[in-house]
Chain A
């Protein structure tokens, strides 16, 4: 489990031009802020030490104010804020999807669900869940919507966050400069499963990405054993296929109630990041989803031990 979460995704270690722009604005603001904080704190502490009552006679000078001083400490912060506002406008423009019109973007449709992510690659009919594969060095234009309540797509190293609002499609842009796995999470409270609606972005070289895309376009491998064949029959015959799609299973495509499971074996985690994707964990998940991810909409189907073995063998089958 630990290996799934070995590095944090920090706003301060940007891996994209967009996150870098925002990081730069953050550092500028932070330095200005620290100067102001230190100046005010030093003044207060100086006063506390220097002007402490030591039992002197009489009253200190009863000064009521000073117009020039008031104007100064109104004008200086105002000037700083004007500069900050201009930088804000520049950064907003730099990280908007229209900032790089000449680049050849990759389009991805992201649909947020309680409590998982659905990713569509419109060019290739590939559908996957919770793990977003992207090629490095390219702008990824995300069309973001929600199937139920408001969620929020946030991968700090790759760019801004944005809400997935039902009935209000949004567009945003991210990018990864280097191959690697970038962690993210849903950042808008969306109910019981909010903590386990995590995102993994797998950034690959263009060639690796194209290979991945081609493999994802394939249907699920045909059963190679009796156990897998049994699993396939269960997938189609039980209620699994009314929520989940496995291309090549023969069951009609579902209405995206649950994640597309065609290439489940390819993913690193189960249940949007709770546990690593191993046959053992999948078996536990199928046996009692709520013990792995409390509040999950996946029902406990009270599967028998043989049924669990068969479904795990089928779903985890490698091509």
Chain B
């Protein structure tokens, strides 16, 4: 039967690395190995960014503290943001997608294996270059947003910012390569029968994410080259006091990238949620079309909201109003997803394994980040709360309480596919509860700090009533969260050696990656089941109630 064969054009790429031992990792073009390289690299940088976060919290634990100088603090918060965004969350999602997308669509490899490898190594080079600035004695310290003219040579004369620019251009090039490859793979190499409406939702979200990357990272790289030109060639794109230069132009370019970037870090998380919640509820996703369609809506709207980062700049009222409307509008498709996930659980049979715990916490924490997001779309509220600790709380609820929790759900879910072993459930529960307590303790009080006037990016603060107490609570929470992260890393290591053997499909899941061995062979599949719906393995196991009524057959007696 045609449906039982591999997609005809997805032939295995000739392996380049037979018999090279561990050196094979450097020459590999296998999407699974490259995926693992991305994941391991991001976990390393997660450690770096986490230590930076703890240093920030130590310095802020008490008023008028002098643990760090302002120059050190500024470099650390700049690198914390840069690291977590460009070297952790983005590459972690890209790495997991690299590993899983070909498996989920039933392909033997990606469309451009060599481009894929190049993308990873250029990305890694960029990450190294950003930190190489350490050897010049100055890390970048103009913030991850690097606002001109503070980032110009006149105000940041040391070379840290130059390394930051060059490094980011490189990670940008690598990320664009990864996006081109994912996009071509999804469009071209889906298994026979896998129409758009039968594609796993994680694949849908990675396709939209890849498109966003193409349109968002390219202008960022253009802007970075302009900024570098200002700094080393004395051009004046963003130098305000030189004829024609505009500080605000940089903000437009940066946030034209910067807001879609939020969705680059959120849509893959939405994709993971849309895989985990149904499997652990033992039900199909509620409203598949709406979950996929709302992703498209978010992808399009993400390019029409960037000015909400600039409401305090003093742009015209019509401009602010238009971007306010667009920013509020993006809450609608996001809400649709939230409602569909929670309704998927309704009348299900919920398996309370670690992935579902993280998924459930994601929903509640992401809603908190979402509603404070709507507050920032309301221009006058933004005029009060932007650049205060309220924003810090808001986007950590989105990116940590949201994206990171979804990532954890995804890691516990797919780890057995990648390693062949399940992660330890007991450690997983400790990890989960400490993460929930630590995360909310760290960031919830920051809403209040923002409301009572604490600006962000300050290396210290005066002894105002409540400031010391709330910052101390936040710091203690950060250390609880750090313990949770260490337990997670420990779980990754011990389960790799001693975890319960998983078998092909430990969760009774329904998408194609579970139709092969764990871990999959180099060519991914021996053969594929037919794809008549979004849940091919469900159809196989329950032919009498197959999702696609056309293919329902009586159960074998």
Binding site for B on A (CB under 8 A): 1-2, 4-12, 19, 21-22, 25-26, 29-30, 33, 36-37, 40-41, 43-44, 47-48, 51-53, 56, 59-66, 69-70, 73-74, 77-78, 81, 84-85, 87-89, 91-92, 95-96, 114, 144, 148-150, 152, 154, 156, 160-163, 165-168, 170, 183-195, 198, 273, 294-295
| B381 and A29 contact, CB distance less than 8 A | yes
| A40 and B384 contact, CB distance less than 8 A | no
| B70 and A165 contact, CB distance less than 8 A | no
Q: How many Å from the CB of A276 to the closest CB on chain B?
A: 11
| A48 and B360 contact, CB distance less than 8 A | yes
- Contact residues, B215-261 vs A (CB, 8 A): 240-241, 245-248
Asked if B35 is at the interface (CB within 8 A of a chain A CB), the reply is no
When distances are taken between beta carbons in the complex, the residues of chain B under 8 Å from A191 are 74, 150, 155
Q: What mask results when residues 399 to 429 of chain B are scored 1 for a CB within 8 Å of chain A, else 0?
A: 0000000000000000000000000000000
When distances are taken between beta carbons in the complex, the residues of chain A under 8 Å from B363 are 40, 44
Asked if B555 is at the interface (CB within 8 A of a chain A CB), the reply is no
Q: How many Å from the CB of B459 to the closest CB on chain A?
A: 5
Closest B residue to A65 using CB positions: B287
| Max count, chain B CB within 10 A of own CB: residue among A1, A73, A273 | A73
| A95 and B380 contact, CB distance less than 8 A | yes
Q: How many Å from the CB of A27 to the closest CB on chain B?
A: 10
With contacts A53-B350, A61-B347, A167-B240 taken as known, whether A91 is within 8 angstroms of B380 at the C-beta atoms is: yes
Asked if B23 is at the interface (CB within 8 A of a chain A CB), the reply is no
Partner of B149, one of A25, A59, A166, A183: A166
Q: How many Å from the CB of B147 to the closest CB on chain A?
A: 6
Asked if B553 is at the interface (CB within 8 A of a chain A CB), the reply is no
- Contact residues, B353-404 vs A (CB, 8 A): 360, 363-364, 367-368, 371-372, 374-375, 377-381, 383-388
Task: Kindly specify which of B106-114, B462-470, B499-507 makes contact with the partner chain.
Answer: B462-470
The A interface is mostly helix, strand or loop, or mixed, namely mixed
Closest B residue to A164 using CB positions: B314
CA distance A270 to B20 in the complex (A): 67
| B455 and A185 contact, CB distance less than 8 A | yes
Known: A44-B363, A63-B283, A183-B453. 13 other contacts (CB 8 A): A2-B463, A7-B465, A29-B374, A40-B364, A48-B350, A51-B350, A59-B349, A74-B332, A78-B332, A149-B147, A156-B452, A167-B241, A194-B74
| A65 and B155 contact, CB distance less than 8 A | no
With contacts A62-B284, A64-B547 taken as known, whether A187 is within 8 angstroms of B367 at the C-beta atoms is: no
| B282 and A59 contact, CB distance less than 8 A | yes
Closest B residue to A36 using CB positions: B371
Binding site for A on B (CB under 8 A): 69-71, 74, 143, 147, 149-150, 155, 240-241, 245-248, 281-284, 286-290, 312-314, 317, 320-321, 324-325, 328-329, 331-332, 335-336, 338-340, 342-343, 345-352, 360, 363-364, 367-368, 371-372, 374-375, 377-381, 383-388, 451-453, 455-467, 542, 545, 547
Q: How many Å from the CB of B107 to the closest CB on chain A?
A: 26
| B368 and A166 contact, CB distance less than 8 A | no
CA distance A95 to B312 in the complex (A): 13
Q: How many Å from the CB of B40 to the closest CB on chain A?
A: 33
CA distance A85 to B149 in the complex (A): 33
CA distance A50 to B266 in the complex (A): 29
| B455 and A186 contact, CB distance less than 8 A | yes
When distances are taken between beta carbons in the complex, the residues of chain B under 8 Å from A7 are 464-465
| A51 and B345 contact, CB distance less than 8 A | yes
With contacts A41-B367, A48-B345, A167-B241 taken as known, whether A22 is within 8 angstroms of B381 at the C-beta atoms is: yes
With contacts A192-B70, A195-B459 taken as known, whether A84 is within 8 angstroms of B374 at the C-beta atoms is: yes
Partner of A63, one of B286, B313, B456: B286
| A64 and B338 contact, CB distance less than 8 A | no
When distances are taken between beta carbons in the complex, the residues of chain B under 8 Å from A185 are 453, 455, 458
CA distance A152 to B375 in the complex (A): 20
| Max count, chain A CB within 10 A of own CB: residue among B74, B284, B349, B453 | B453
When distances are taken between beta carbons in the complex, the residues of chain A under 8 Å from B384 are 11, 19, 22, 26, 156, 160-161
Q: How many Å from the CB of A162 to the closest CB on chain B?
A: 6
| B147 and A150 contact, CB distance less than 8 A | yes
Q: How many Å from the CB of B350 to the closest CB on chain A?
A: 5
When distances are taken between beta carbons in the complex, the residues of chain B under 8 Å from A51 are 281, 345-350
| A192 and B74 contact, CB distance less than 8 A | yes
With contacts A63-B286, A150-B147 taken as known, whether A165 is within 8 angstroms of B240 at the C-beta atoms is: yes
| A63 and B347 contact, CB distance less than 8 A | yes
CA distance A148 to B547 in the complex (A): 64
| B282 and A85 contact, CB distance less than 8 A | no
When distances are taken between beta carbons in the complex, the residues of chain B under 8 Å from A37 are 364, 367-368, 371
CA distance A53 to B282 in the complex (A): 9
When distances are taken between beta carbons in the complex, the residues of chain A under 8 Å from B346 are 43, 47, 51
| B388 and A187 contact, CB distance less than 8 A | yes
Closest B residue to A186 using CB positions: B455
CA distance A92 to B324 in the complex (A): 11
When distances are taken between beta carbons in the complex, the residues of chain A under 8 Å from B387 are 152, 154, 161, 187-189
| B383 and A22 contact, CB distance less than 8 A | yes
Closest B residue to A193 using CB positions: B70
CA distance A41 to B466 in the complex (A): 29
CA distance A247 to B343 in the complex (A): 72
A-B contact list, 19 entries, CB within 8 Å: A7-B465, A9-B452, A11-B385, A37-B371, A44-B364, A62-B547, A65-B289, A66-B287, A70-B340, A77-B332, A84-B328, A85-B325, A149-B155, A156-B452, A156-B453, A163-B313, A185-B458, A187-B312, A192-B70
Q: How many Å from the CB of A52 to the closest CB on chain B?
A: 5
| B336 and A70 contact, CB distance less than 8 A | yes
| A161 and B312 contact, CB distance less than 8 A | yes
| B350 and A5 contact, CB distance less than 8 A | no
| B247 and A167 contact, CB distance less than 8 A | yes
Q: How many Å from the CB of A72 to the closest CB on chain B?
A: 9
Partner of A95, one of B350, B383, B464: B383
Q: How many Å from the CB of B96 to the closest CB on chain A?
A: 24
| A162 and B70 contact, CB distance less than 8 A | no
With contacts A60-B283, A91-B380, A165-B240 taken as known, whether A52 is within 8 angstroms of B352 at the C-beta atoms is: yes
| A163 and B335 contact, CB distance less than 8 A | no
CA distance A25 to B317 in the complex (A): 18
| A6 and B465 contact, CB distance less than 8 A | yes
When distances are taken between beta carbons in the complex, the residues of chain B under 8 Å from A189 are 74, 143, 147, 150, 387, 456-457
CA distance A34 to B117 in the complex (A): 47
| B383 and A168 contact, CB distance less than 8 A | no
When distances are taken between beta carbons in the complex, the residues of chain A under 8 Å from B379 are 88, 91-92
CA distance A21 to B150 in the complex (A): 33
CA distance A21 to B385 in the complex (A): 14
Partner of B312, one of A9, A78, A87, A163: A163
With contacts A44-B360, A168-B314 taken as known, whether A70 is within 8 angstroms of B290 at the C-beta atoms is: yes
| B287 and A22 contact, CB distance less than 8 A | no
Closest A residue to B143 using CB positions: A189
With contacts A160-B384, A166-B241 taken as known, whether A89 is within 8 angstroms of B71 at the C-beta atoms is: no
| A40 and B313 contact, CB distance less than 8 A | no
| A53 and B321 contact, CB distance less than 8 A | no
| B383 and A162 contact, CB distance less than 8 A | yes
Q: How many Å from the CB of A124 to the closest CB on chain B?
A: 26
CA distance A77 to B364 in the complex (A): 17
CA distance A160 to B385 in the complex (A): 9
